[in-house]
């Protein structure tokens, strides 16, 4: 829809942490692309608790350009929280996140939008020719992407590429934590969205240092396990804990039968084998597991009925009507 109707068609979201040197160039490049294509748009920059000159630049930018909207976090909350805040405050029918470090190329934005116009709900950028350290960045990324594909069943070559395009409707009910922003295409695919990818340009970093590393790759894999668990069992946690409890009950029964066998056919009293203790142990584990499942089920129901809570804190905003 056009701006005349009070709607913004495209929301470009920039999570940023200590990227004061890159931001002026990035905003100009995005503005040039959006103007050339005659898109109706807004640019939302989320200052994730930066300690450089980002705050001053962004306040000046928002004062001079009403299309540039700014969220200042009280403290550093991470890229996922910054992206979630940008999505929460955005108005666009198409949402496009992009890294603040100038390595994503804004010239690829129209390519992503064209894919959505073909009928897709998500278009993910694929940095086929990456300009990063192959040992520290590229290799761990390839390993992580392979594991993510294996576990999720969603075939994308580059989950870590921030440059993506989403239809707004698929983002409505998604809440993100940890490093889960890269899993949005997985959530979308599991919910029936049409997902595709296109090759995008990747540029060397010009300013500052990368904030990614091996530690982040480990976090991504652990978050993926959480995502898979949520997808399979979040609405019915009793299936997990209850299933484990029933297994323990079964093992308790088998050890009890073994205990009786040794008593009446093996010539050993109950106190001569550890089976009575093992039987009681499995029985207790089963009872505890079932009750944990019930508590998790109640907690899940409470979660759905509780008020929405955010994973970030806003200090103040600019141009957010």
Q: What is the pLDDT of residues 177-221, one digit of tens each?
A: 667 788 889 888 988 899 999 999 998 888 777 656 556 667 777
Q: Is 132 exposed, middle or buried (0-12, 13-18, 19+ CB in 10 A)?
A: middle
Q: What is the pLDDT of residues 128-141, one digit of tens each?
A: 888 766 666 677 77
| Residue located via tokens 């979660």 | 303
What's the confidence (pLDDT) of residue 210? 65
Are both 212 and 290 inside the same structural domain?
no
The tokens for 97 are: 């996140």
Residues 161 and 290 in one domain: no
Q: What is the pLDDT of residue 7?
A: 44
In whole angstroms, give the CA distance from residue 123 to residue 235. 28
For residue 309, the model assigns a pLDDT of 58
Mean pLDDT across 152-167: 90
319 part of a folded domain:
no
Residue 129 has a pLDDT of 85
The answer, yes or no, to whether residue 63 has pLDDT greater than 80, is yes
Q: Are residues 81 and 217 in the same domain?
A: yes
Output the pLDDT for position 4.
Answer: 44
Nearest Cα to 152, choosing from 227, 219, 235, 240?
Answer: 227
> The domain containing residue 20 runs over which residues?
7-232
Sign of CA dihedral 78, 89, 314, 48: positive
Pair (128, 186) in one structural domain:
yes
* Neighbouring residues of 175: CB distance < 8 A, sequence distance ≥ 6: 84, 311
Counting Cα atoms < 13 Å in the Cβ hemisphere of 34 gives 19
Q: Which two tokens stand for residue 183?
A: 């899993």
Burial class (CB in 10 A: 0-12, 13-18, 19+), 12: buried
305 part of a folded domain:
no
Q: How many CB atoms lie within 10 A of CB 207?
A: 13
Whether residue 218 is found in the same domain as residue 248: no
The yes-or-no verdict on residue 93 having pLDDT over 90 is yes
Is residue 315 situated within a structural domain? no
Same-domain pairing of 56 and 156: yes
Q: How many CB atoms lie within 10 A of CB 222?
A: 12
Please tell me whether residues 190 and 278 are part of one structural domain: no
Is residue 283 included in any domain, yes or no?
Answer: yes
- Number of domains into which the chain is organized: 2
| Residue 316 located in a structural domain | no
pLDDT of residue 153: 84
């Amino acid at each position: 829809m056009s701006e005349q109707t009070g709607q913004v068609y495209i929301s470009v979201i920039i999570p940023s942490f200590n990227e004061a040197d890159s931001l002026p160039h990035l905003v100009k490049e995005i503005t040039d692309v959006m103007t050339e294509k005659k898109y109706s748009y807004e640019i939302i920059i989320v200052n994730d608790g930066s300690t450089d000159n980002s705050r001053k630049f962004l306040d000046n930018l928002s004062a001079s350009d009403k299309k540039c909207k700014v969220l200042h976090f009280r403290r550093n909350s991470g890229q996922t929280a910054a992206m979630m805040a940008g999505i929460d405050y955005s108005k666009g029918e198409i949402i496009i996140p992009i890294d603040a470090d100038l390595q994503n190329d804004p010239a690829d934005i129209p390519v992503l939008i064209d894919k959505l116009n073909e009928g897709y709900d998500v278009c993910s950028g694929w940095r086929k020719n990456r300009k990063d350290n192959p040992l520290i960045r590229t290799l761990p990324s390839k390993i992580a992407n392979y594991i993510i594909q294996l576990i999720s069943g969603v075939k994308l070559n580059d989950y870590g590429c921030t440059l993506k395009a989403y239809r707004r409707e698929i983002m409505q009910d998604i809440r993100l934590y940890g490093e889960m922003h890269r899993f949005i295409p997985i959530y979308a695919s599991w919910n029936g969205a049409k997902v595709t990818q296109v090759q995008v340009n990747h540029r060397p970093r010009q300013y500052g240092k990368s904030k990614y590393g091996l530690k982040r790759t480990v976090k991504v894999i652990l978050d993926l396990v959480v995502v898979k668990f949520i997808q399979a069992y979040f609405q019915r946690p009793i299936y997990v804990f209850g299933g484990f409890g029933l297994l323990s009950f079964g093992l308790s029964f088998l050890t009890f039968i073994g205990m009786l066998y040794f008593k009446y056919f093996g010539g050993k009293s109950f106190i001569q084998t550890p089976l009575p203790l093992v039987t009681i142990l499995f029985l207790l584990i089963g009872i505890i597991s079932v009750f944990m499942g019930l508590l998790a089920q109640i907690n899940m129901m409470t979660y759905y009925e509780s008020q929405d809570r955010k994973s970030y804190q806003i200090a103040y905003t600019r141009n957010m009507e």
